[in-house]
Amino acid sequence: MDRLVFLLATGFARGLVIALFALSLVIVWRAARLVNFAQAAVATVAVFAAFAVTGATGSFWAGLAAALVAGAVLNAAVERGLMRRVPSGSPLPGMIVAIGLVMVLQSALGIAFGPRHRPMAAPFDERPFVVGGVPLLSAYDLFVLVVALAVVGLLAWLFNGTSLGLQLRASAAAPEVSRLLGVRVPRMVTLGWALSGAVAALAALLLVPTELGLNAHSADLLFVHAFTVAALGGLDSPTGALVGGVVVGVLVSLVTGYVGAGVAPLAVLALLTLVLLVRPGGIFAAAQVRAA
């Protein structure tokens, strides 16, 4: 029972981070109708930027800021430099370009930093608090939880409560009409990419100290989890991403705790296959698909 509570709590915290990463995929999908397969590689580059800045200044917070900026700038550059030039009409070229980008970024990181895992210290204590004899979350888990919830809330407010969010949603849903109404659609699309890059970088940075470890491929698994989440919730639905993230996080945590860490990827694959076979568009996908 104690174990169950502990696993559920850590799974929830981890699930929120996966949800954050999935949200970043949803943001790009809504802005550009494209799954950014390079998101994990971009996030890893941003985490390496954080690693370098933290190493130079000694401050985790400076590194965090650097990761956010690096993720945003890199994704904006990807959109302006590459994705804008991709022929539209078929999703294939966009995916292939993103895969090429993954290869370029990961191999460049491999050349620059070598294959070793770099140690990255968490800014808070990682030992779990014990409440009534039951080990629960650690201080770092709590930090992750608070940050993830805050960012999810911030994104919800940005998209639903501000004029900028309205413009972002409008240019994704109806680019032509938005342009006629004076929305600078290309700028909004770039902004969406930048936002998504920052969120992805944050998610990767939160998981690197405790789980992923830092090397060129550290975010690959996070991407697979996040894609599962996005597929679970439907690529269009932020709520779906949030719920799906928690489901996947708890599933991974329970399977790891009760069966073994080696089975977790298989459980995720089984979940993804099941969801895609039952509801190919995702559980939370709106029935009427927007034809944008």
Partner 1 sequence: MTATRPATAQETEETAVRDDRPAPGPARRLTRTQRILVRAAVLTLLAVAVTFVLDPYRNYQLAVVAATFCATAGLTLLVGLTGQLSLGHAVLMAAGGYGYALTVNAAAGAGLDGDGGASLARVVLGLAGAVVVSGAVGGLLGLAGARLRGPYLAGLTLAMVVALPALTAQVPALGGDQGLAVPFEGVPEALSRLIVVEQWHAWVAIVVAAVAVTPLALLRSGRAGLRMRAVHGDETAARLSGVSPARVKVGAFVASSLAAGLGGALLCLVTQSVGPGHYDLAFSLLLVVAAVVGGLGSLGGAAAGAALVVLLPWLVDTVTAAVGVPADLEQRLSGNLAVLVFGALLIVVTLVWPGGLARAATRRRHRPRGRTDAPAASPHPTASQPLER
Q: CA-CA distance, 27 to 155, in Å (whole number)? A: 10
Q: Does 276 bind partner 1 (CB under 8 A)?
A: yes
Q: CA-CA distance, 279 to 257, in Å (whole number)? A: 29
Among 55, 91, 153, 161, binds partner 1 (CB under 8 A): 91
C-beta closer to partner 1: residue 96 or 181: 96
Q: Does 257 bind partner 1 (CB under 8 A)?
A: no
Among 1, 58, 85, 89, binds partner 1 (CB under 8 A): 85
Q: Does 73 bind partner 1 (CB under 8 A)?
A: no
Among 31, 50, 76, 102, binds partner 1 (CB under 8 A): 102
Can you give the length of the chain in residues? 292
CA atoms within 13 A on the CB side of 137: 16
Site string for partner 1, 207-226 (x = CB under 8 A): -------------xx--x--
Q: Does 269 bind partner 1 (CB under 8 A)?
A: yes
Q: CA-CA distance, 65 to 73, in Å (whole number)? A: 12
Q: CA-CA distance, 113 to 277, in Å (whole number)? A: 40
Q: Does 164 bind partner 1 (CB under 8 A)?
A: no
Q: Does 235 bind partner 1 (CB under 8 A)?
A: yes
DSSP class per residue in 224-278: HHHHHHHHHH-TT-HHHHHHHHHHHHHHHHHHHHHT-GGGHHHHHHHHHHHHHHH
Unique residue bearing structure tokens 């790891």: 256
C-beta closer to partner 1: residue 80 or 179: 80
Residues of the shown chain interacting with partner 1 in the complex, contacts defined by CB under 8 A: 34-35, 37, 82, 85-87, 90-93, 95-97, 99-108, 110-112, 114-115, 220-221, 224, 227-228, 230-231, 235, 262-266, 268-269, 272-273, 276-277, 280
